[in-house]
DNA sequence: CGAATTATGTACCGATCGGTATAAAAAAAT
DNA sequence: ATTTTTTTATACCGATCGGTACATAATTCG
């Protein structure tokens, strides 16, 4: 009951996500948000709590709609395919023609004032979580003799995430998808397509 | 003539550089700066012009004092040593015990409001310049048959810069130097220590 | 039809933003 | 000693920041 909402919450959240993605948490003002979302401040606060709550919901949406390739990639039977799908998935997302370049999880609050410290901490933890999940997957691969010799699972995981974070900066600096793909090709060169399957 | 300055310009600039490095251009307020540098706003504006001018001078100092390894690395006779020195040089700078983690050129203004667009553009151009210089060096290496087969100089340059930018994010996320070194070891694995010297 | 409930638009809040006007203070020049 | 020059400290500027009080509009329930 009560007056019906005049805007679509999902559409509004999509817009907020893109704004935070492009301009970062602190670089996006409430005026940017309300004008972009086509709603007033009281509406924004009524639905999303405050700016911080809105960002967290936007991040959640980002993970759900743009980072879904990550968990899909973990299901690949071979570790090398996991790595490659993750790398190309990130590069694709970072260079999509619609939407901002780079990565919300990095652009959001890499370096910021104390006012955004909580968001920054949250994004760092977010990155660590992804790295941990990949590390777990590579631990399984190690048990299956599915890793290249001489490498620890967590080192490989950090390596893959480092490349992906690097391409995020490259994309934010104007690099296009083919360029990132060539970087990925080189990054995977040391990893034989088929590992000693004895 | 005139009243003598009561603070050391170089010390003040060093402090400003560290603040911008840790909190980014927009995340660092004039209050942060004046309190950190131990001077008042009129003094700051008298010497450095304005916030933007101060940032650019801080960036200049950063390049001169923290990125000097880069041009040194370009002088290495073998391309692989160039690559390795650059990668380890970045990792060292990004994980120095004194001073902020990560890279000023990335932390400074990766994603920001329109108010900082000029600084952002300047930092992007800064990254491109480094990539171009490395590319030039690798072109020379190509002529000297000093590159691994099947790779273009500019692709190798972008690859090296992508890894370094990735480690910058890793450092900003808490990774320590040994962890970054292991990433670098993996990144260079495809590059044989001695290339076909026929 | 009220009454209750929820969303909206307007207008405002204190705090902080980058930047500056003004005058006192400290030196060199005459 | 006075003038000139430069730096300092204080106090302030308009604009914008994130956030909210309040009244009105639009719906459902009784």
pLDDT for residue A170 is more than 80 = yes
Same domain membership, residue A102 and residue A13: no
* C-alpha distance from B83 to closest chain A C-alpha (Å): 14
Same domain membership, residue A149 and residue A56: no
Looking at the partner chain, which of B29, B111, B113 has a beta carbon nearest the beta carbon of A29? B113
The pair of structure tokens assigned to A101 is 């370049």
Same domain membership, residue B51 and residue B73: no
CATH number at residue B138: 1.10.357.10
Q: Does residue B4 approach strand D to less than 7 Å at its CB?
A: yes
| Distance between CA atoms of residues A20 and A113, nearest Å | 16
- Does residue A2 form part of some domain? no
- Does residue A196 form part of some domain? no
Q: For residue B173, list chain A residues with Cβ-Cβ distance below 8 A.
A: 124, 127-128
Q: Which residue is nearest to nucleotide C18 (CA to C1')?
A: B30
* C-alpha distance from B1 to closest chain A C-alpha (Å): 39
- Does residue A157 form part of some domain? yes
| Distance between CA atoms of residues B32 and A83, nearest Å | 42
Length B46 CA → D13 C1' (Å): 18
Nearest CA in chain A to B174: A124
Looking at the partner chain, which of A158, A159, A186 has a beta carbon nearest the beta carbon of B159? A186
Q: What range does the domain containing A22 cover?
A: 9-61
User: CB within 8 A of A76, min separation 6: which ones?
Assistant: A82, A85
Nearest CA in chain B to A159: B183
Same domain membership, residue A110 and residue A82: yes
Q: Does residue B40 approach strand D to less than 7 Å at its CB?
A: yes
Same domain membership, residue B96 and residue B16: no
Q: For residue B153, list chain A residues with Cβ-Cβ distance below 8 A.
A: none
Query: What integer is the mean pLDDT of B25-36?
Result: 98
Q: For residue B127, list chain A residues with Cβ-Cβ distance below 8 A.
A: 169, 173
pLDDT computed for residue A1 by the predictor = 80
CATH number at residue A33: 1.10.10.60
| Distance between CA atoms of residues A26 and B111, nearest Å | 9
| Distance between CA atoms of residues A23 and A51, nearest Å | 14
- Does residue A198 form part of some domain? no
Task: Decide: B105 and B62 in contact? Cβ < 8 Å.
Answer: yes
Residues of chain A numbered 155-184 and touching chain B (CB < 8 Å): 155-156, 158-159, 161-170, 172-175, 179-180, 182-183
- In the block, which residue shows the tokens 């979302």? A37
pLDDT computed for residue B197 by the predictor = 54
| Distance between CA atoms of residues A104 and A114, nearest Å | 19
| Distance between CA atoms of residues A51 and B2, nearest Å | 49
pLDDT in tens, A91-135: 999 999 999 999 999 999 999 999 999 999 999 999 999 999 999
| Distance between CA atoms of residues A110 and A25, nearest Å | 10
Same domain membership, residue B98 and residue B51: no
- Does residue B193 form part of some domain? no
Q: What is residue B182's three-state secondary structure?
A: helix
CA atoms within 13 A on the CB side of A179: 23
Same domain membership, residue B91 and residue B158: yes
Reduce the secondary structure of chain A to three states and give it as a string: CCCCCCCCHHHHHHHHHHHHHHHCCCCCCHHHHHHHHCCCHHHHHHHHCCHHHHHHHHHHHHHHHHCHHHHHHHCCCCHHHHHHHHHHHHHHHHCCCCCCCCCHHHHCCCCCCHHHHHHHHHHHHHHHHHHHHHHHHHHHHHHCCCCCCCCCHHHHHHHHHHHHHHHHHHHHCCCCHHHHHHHHHHHCCCCCCCCCCC
B125, B173, B188: best to mutate for the A interface, most A CBs within 10 A? B173
pLDDT in tens, A18-42: 999 999 999 999 999 999 999 999 9
User: CB within 8 A of A25, min separation 6: which ones?
Assistant: A51, A55, A108, A109, A112, A116, A119
| Number of cross-chain residue pairs from A and B with Cβ atoms under 8 Å apart | 147
Same domain membership, residue A116 and residue A55: no
- Does residue A193 form part of some domain? no
Region of poorest pLDDT, from A56-60, A190-194, B83-87, B88-92 = A190-194
Counting every residue, how long is chain B? 198
Are the beta carbons of A111 and B108 separated by less than 8 Å? yes
The pair of structure tokens assigned to B180 is 């970054």
The pair of structure tokens assigned to B135 is 């590319």
Give chain C positions with protein CB within 7 A. 4-11, 16-22, 25-29
Are the beta carbons of B111 and A163 separated by less than 8 Å? no
Same domain membership, residue B43 and residue B72: no
Length B15 CA → C25 C1' (Å): 26
Q: How many domains would you assign to chain A?
A: 2
Task: Decide: A78 and A138 in contact? Cβ < 8 Å.
Answer: no
Same domain membership, residue A82 and residue A37: no
- Does residue B195 form part of some domain? no
Same domain membership, residue B106 and residue B84: yes
The pair of structure tokens assigned to B108 is 């400074």
pLDDT computed for residue B195 by the predictor = 64
Query: What integer is the mean pLDDT of B54-81?
Result: 98
Residues of chain A numbered 80-139 and touching chain B (CB < 8 Å): 102, 106-108, 110-113, 116, 124, 127-128
Phi-psi region of B182 (alpha: psi -120 to 50; beta: other; left: phi over 0): alpha
Nearest by Cα to A145 from A109, A196, A100, A184? A196
Alpha-carbon torsion angle B86, B87, B90, B94, nearest 10: -170
Distance, first Cα to last Cα, chain A = 66
pLDDT for residue A197 is more than 60 = no
Query: What integer is the mean pLDDT of B39-62?
Result: 98
Counting every residue, how long is chain A? 198
Q: For residue A163, list chain B residues with Cβ-Cβ distance below 8 A.
A: 162-163, 166, 187
**What pTM did the predictor assign?**
0.97
pLDDT for residue B198 is more than 60 = no
Same domain membership, residue A128 and residue A36: no
- Does residue B40 form part of some domain? yes
């Amino acid at each position: 009951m009560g007056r019906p909402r005049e805007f679509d919450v999902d559409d509004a959240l999509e817009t907020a996500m893109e704004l935070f993605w492009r301009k970062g948490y602190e670089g996006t003002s409430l005026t940017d948000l309300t004008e972009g979302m086509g709603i007033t401040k009281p509406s924004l606060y009524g639905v999303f709590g405050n700016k911080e709550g809105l960002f967290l919901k936007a991040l959640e949406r980002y993970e759900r709609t743009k980072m879904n390739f990550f968990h899909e990639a973990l299901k690949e039977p071979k570790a090398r395919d996991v790595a490659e799908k993750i790398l190309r998935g990130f590069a694709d997302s970072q260079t999509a023609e619609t939407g901002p370049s780079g990565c919300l999880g990095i652009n959001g609050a890499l370096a910021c004032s104390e006012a955004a410290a909580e968001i920054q901490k949250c994004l760092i933890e977010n990155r660590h979580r992804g790295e941990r999940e990949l590390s777990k997957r590579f631990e399984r691969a190690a048990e299956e003799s599915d890793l290249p010799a001489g490498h620890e699972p967590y080192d490989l995981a950090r390596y893959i995430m480092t490349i992906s974070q690097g391409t995020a900066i490259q994309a934010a600096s104007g690099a296009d998808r083919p360029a990132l793909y060539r970087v990925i090709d080189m990054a995977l060169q040391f990893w034989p397509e088929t590992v000693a399957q004895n």
